[in-house]
Amino acid sequence: MQNTKLEVKNLQISFSHEGSQVNAVRDVSFTLGQEKLAIVGESGSGKSTVGRSLLKLHPKNATVEAEKLLFGDIDLLNASEKTMRDIRGRRISMIMQDPKYSLNPVMKVGDQIAEAYLAHYKVSKKIAQEKALIMLEKVQIRDPKRVYSLYPHEVSGGMGQRVMIAMMLIPEPEIIIADEPTSALDVSVQRQVLNLLDELISERNIGLIFISHDLDLVRNYCDRVLVMYAGRVVESIKASELENAQHPYTQGLLKAPPRIGDIRNRLPTLERDPSWLYN
Amino acid sequence: MNMINIEGLDLSFGTGANESKILHDVNIQIQAGESFGLVGESGSGKTTVLRCLAGQYNHWSGQLSVNGNRLLHKLDKKRCIDMQMVFQDPYGSLHPRHSIETALAEPLKIHKIDNRDERISAILKKVGLDDSFRYRSPHQLSGGQRQRVAIARALILEPKILLLDEPTSALDVSVQAEILNLLKDLKEKEGLTYLMVTHDLGVVTYLCDRIAVMQNGHIVETISSVNLANHGASEPYTRMLLDCCYHTETTQSSEALSA
């Protein structure tokens, strides 16, 4: 792992609500180089919260603290809103879960891609449109001209997710945070979208943070896996060694889903040990 | 005798030039006590088959019969008693402002069944929840608990058939395991017949005995779970679906083989 793109040390995130405080993320540390890092865990484990904190997308009632939150040599923790605006989308971008909800329903998909480029580069509309068409071709859309002028409801889920990838890649970011980018898609389309994302990020030396709850998917797709439980990282492990995961929570997650040809009569469920919260 | 018999089911939407045919000559026979799975991509028509059976669409043509009774286009109460449905998203399928008790009492009220109190207690126990859940609202429950309530609501009329529309796809893997175990137990205890729609081949082979693979409104292959697991699928489309699922499992072993 050469040249560290991102360094996070002891990240703590809490939300205050009517006087009470909820600690959503505690003591999370990791570094990201030019690699594919997965953050996995159940719903509510804080994985998306970590992703969002890197772009400071949290509402006012959130408190984000960390010993270190470095992006290159920029301290994200103390960065001004202006600096953040230059980073968001331009240098770190985020692919959301569901293209149905994340695309603007009343704007042509091509214009949405061009808009992403225009927001960060001072070019004419025409050049941005040309860029968007090239980008649509890059994400393997067969007839970019036709698709450019479609509205989100006219494209399929897989195509919508490709549009979103195009939109996130067009400003040429250094890091992409993908928050469950394929969980709204069919298995067959899922694979195409992942392969595409993989090609594009290795071509452009992008670091990827892949947020998912699917350990099976992550083990073949990513290089390294952080397993989160109740806001903490319980295990950090190379994806290829996931088989030998030590933590009972990781083992439980690995055993839970039924697989084709499964002869188990009952599926093991997770026994949550309260002591997991104290290490 | 077949518990569910679907013969030559056709369905289309729109008329004239805009007519688009959704289901093409679907034939499914399911025996009493059997679990049958329908798999395929989104848009292949698998949920539509369930909706025809459940009476949510009534302009189909063909022959449907359930428990020996020929289904009419109009929904009747008898059909509801025989057959209940569990939906995909437990966040959307429970009324947010009705307590669990109200949600469970509603089918009983509709069908004028008495002893509601005892029935609700019994059904909650059956799905692994205790009586304290009665007075809670859906927002106070986790996703897995909500899905248990949805299953309880379907079972409270003591149906013979459960139509399951992706019952676990909105849940985490750990919670999915709990719900699948529950469904398996209930089936053994109550002798239920399941017709389940899913796109997860792991889930379908775990719970179902036989599987029909759908593509563009056609059934392309009907195959037993055992056969599917032993690479007995003959249709290229089924193999493609298997490949997509297997890539997580077998890429490592196939790499090892080629190395």
φ, ψ (nearest 5 deg) of residue A10: 45, 55
Provide the token pair at A217.
């998917």
Say yes or no for a CB contact (<8 Å) between B177 and A268: yes
* Spatial separation of the C-alpha atoms in residues B180 and B204, rounded to whole Å: 10
Q: Is B199 on the interface with A (CB under 8 A)?
A: yes
Q: How far is A124 from chain B (nearest CA, A)?
A: 40
Task: Quote the pLDDT of residue A187.
Answer: 77
Per-residue model confidence as pLDDT tens digits over B193-206: 999 999 888 899 99
Average pLDDT, chain A: 90
* Spatial separation of the C-alpha atoms in residues B63 and B75, rounded to whole Å: 15
Would you say residue B172 has pLDDT above 90? no
Tell me which residue has tokens 């793109």: A5
Task: Quote the pLDDT of residue A268.
Answer: 85
Q: What is the pTM of this model?
A: 0.83
Residue count of chain B:
259
B172 contact residues in A (CB cutoff 8 A):
42-43, 213
* Spatial separation of the C-alpha atoms in residues A245 and A90, rounded to whole Å: 36
Per-residue model confidence as pLDDT tens digits over A35-91: 999 999 888 889 999 999 999 998 889 999 999 999 988 999 999 999 999 999 999
- How many CB pairs below 8 A link A and B? 87
Give the residues across from B165 on adjacent strands.
B197
Say yes or no for a CB contact (<8 Å) between B199 and A186: yes
Task: Quote the pLDDT of residue B231.
Answer: 84
Q: Is B188 on the interface with A (CB under 8 A)?
A: no
User: Are A93 and A52 in contact, with CB atoms under 8 Å apart?
Assistant: no
Say yes or no for a CB contact (<8 Å) between B203 and A187: no
Of B172, B228, B240, the CB nearest to A188: B240
Does residue B145 or residue B258 have the better pLDDT? B145
User: Are A107 and A150 in contact, with CB atoms under 8 Å apart?
Assistant: no
CA A53 to chain centre: 12
Give the residues across from B11 on adjacent strands.
B23
B178 contact residues in A (CB cutoff 8 A):
269
